[in-house]
Amino acid sequence: MISLPFDPIPRCKLRATVSGAFARYARKIGASLSLCLPFFVCPSVPANAHPHVWTTIRSEVVYADKTMTGVRHAWTFDDMFSAYALQGIHHAKKGEYTREELSSLAKLNVTSLKEYKYFTYAKADGKKIEFSDPTDYWLEYKDSALTLHFTLPLKSPVSARTMLIEVYDPTIFIDFALAKDTPVTLGGAAPNCNLKIDLPHQPTPAEQARMSQLDENPLNPFDTFGQMFANKIEVKCP
């Protein structure tokens, strides 16, 4: 059973910002590559220029033997940022990119995401649980957009009555939005497990005002303000 309690936040209301950590990452990438990942601002752009990164997500909560083993993500980036990220990537056929041609970019993506905990946070019966490094990662190019596919295995499989998974960027640099059609599925879960999806919090006027000031007062990755805009996936198994 899937429950969607209200409409998503209009994307134009989410102001993008970049933290010091993101700026450091951008400089690191810029030193070795002539392109940017589809998460971060390039070093040639001022750190407070705030290019929005719009990401549509589909996720599968993976179970085996009545225990949760991980999360399988598919993140599709907006057309503009996809085109920017593809600059400098060699490809044999115009307008097409194979999985092999995108393999180095895919590896760079998942490697860099580790510092930011893959923007994916999980709790089992209220207790935080950790993910291992991604597996089965690859990039797909379709309809002018890049999609990053990857699996986040739990460090230890967990059996719990309630699993909570949150996907969000604490700095609100990236806008994560669940896909409109089949955003979350359960893989291998017991038939009596129920799935509930809570979309991000609708900002109040005061919160919108704060978000409008993020250019001058950026959030850091440890600020809890961004957590209220998390996409929440809850799985209950009696």
- Phi, psi (5° rounding) for residue 36? -120, 150
Residue 2 resides in a domain: no
Q: Could you give the number of structural domains in the chain?
A: 1
Answer yes or no: is 154 within a domain. Answer: yes
pTM for the model stands at 0.78
Checking if the pLDDT of 129 tops 90, the result is: yes
Query: What's the mean per-residue pLDDT of the chain?
Result: 80
Kindly report the length of the chain: 238
Q: Which structural domain range is residue 22 located in? A: 11-236
Q: Quick one: what percent of the chain has pLDDT higher than 70?
A: 78
Residue 190 lies in a domain: yes
Q: Which residue has the higher pLDDT, 5 or 15?
A: 5
Q: Is the pLDDT of residue 120 over 80?
A: yes
Q: Is 5 a domain residue?
A: no
**pLDDT computed for residue 52 by the predictor:** 66
pLDDT of residue 26: 35
Q: Is residue 4 part of a domain?
A: no
Give pLDDT tens digits for 29-84: 333 333 334 344 333 333 432 336 899 999 999 999 889 999 999 999 999 889 98
pLDDT tens-digit profile of 85-110? 899 999 999 999 999 999 999 999 99
Could you tell me if residue 192 is inside a domain?
Answer: yes
Q: Is 152 a residue whose pLDDT tops 80?
A: yes
